[in-house]
Amino acid sequence: MEQTFVMIKPDGVQRGLTGEIISRIERKGLRIVAMRMCQVTDETARRHYAEHVEKPFFNSLIEFITSSPAVPMIVEGAGAVSVMRTIAGATDPKESLVGTIRGDFGLDVGRNLIHSADSLESAKREIAIHFTEDEAVLYERAEERWVYE
């Protein structure tokens, strides 16, 4: 089973979409194995978005991500990394397909509701930034034999 890192960003929490977003992940059949609500610290945000440090939007991105509570989580399932990117939608919500989280609820690239790791390698790196190993729980959902052949 593949693991990915997902985070409901502060706009998702402030707009009351936490339940809606979690529900979409659950209904897909994916398994949430770690989750918390927290205000991301400046240090954690900078580590998380280190690849964007030279971008013109870096400072505003860090300010936004740390401005209000977020909900980081570890999501597990077959092809979890790419499946979660598909559920999240394209980076700019103006271009994301309807039916995706960003396409259904967003309009601005700086307020795109959800983060989802872009590769297995990124997922591993981001999980290690946001969670300790003992925070992930090991369990099976009762419905999994109806989700997987």
Ligand X SMILES: Nc1ncnc2c1ncn2[C@@H]1O[C@H](COP(=O)(O)OP(=O)(O)O)[C@@H](O)[C@H]1O
The binding site for ligand X (CB under 6 A) comprises 52, 57, 61, 91, 109-110, 112, 115, 118
> Quick one: 6 or 35, whose CB is closer to Mg ion?
6
State the helix-helix crossing angle for 18-28 and 80-88, rounded to 10 degrees.
140
Neighbour order of strands in the sheet with 31-35: 31-35, 71-77, 2-8, 114-116
Question: Within 13 A of 40's CA, how many CA atoms are on the CB side?
Answer: 28
| 96 contact partners, CB below 8 Å, separation of at least 6 | 89, 90, 102, 103, 106, 112
- Distance (Å, rounded) from C-alpha 74 to C-alpha 35? 7
> Quick one: 121 or 144, whose CB is closer to ligand X?
121
- Distance (Å, rounded) from C-alpha 69 to C-alpha 19? 14
CB of 117 to ligand X, least distance (A): 8
- Distance (Å, rounded) from C-alpha 44 to C-alpha 104? 28
Give the H or E element holding residue 24: helix 18-28
| Per annotation, catalytic residue among 48, 52, 115, 130 | 115
CB of 103 to ligand X, least distance (A): 12
> Quick one: 24 or 115, whose CB is closer to ligand X?
115
> Quick one: 91 or 147, whose CB is closer to ligand X?
91
Stretch that binds Mg ion, among 57-65, 71-79, 114-122, 129-137 (CB under 5 A): 114-122
Stretch that binds Mg ion, among 9-17, 73-81, 82-90, 112-120 (CB under 5 A): 112-120
Catalytic residue check, 115: yes
CB of 30 to Mg ion, least distance (A): 19
Chain residues binding Mg ion by CB under 5 A are 118
The catalytic site residues sit at 115
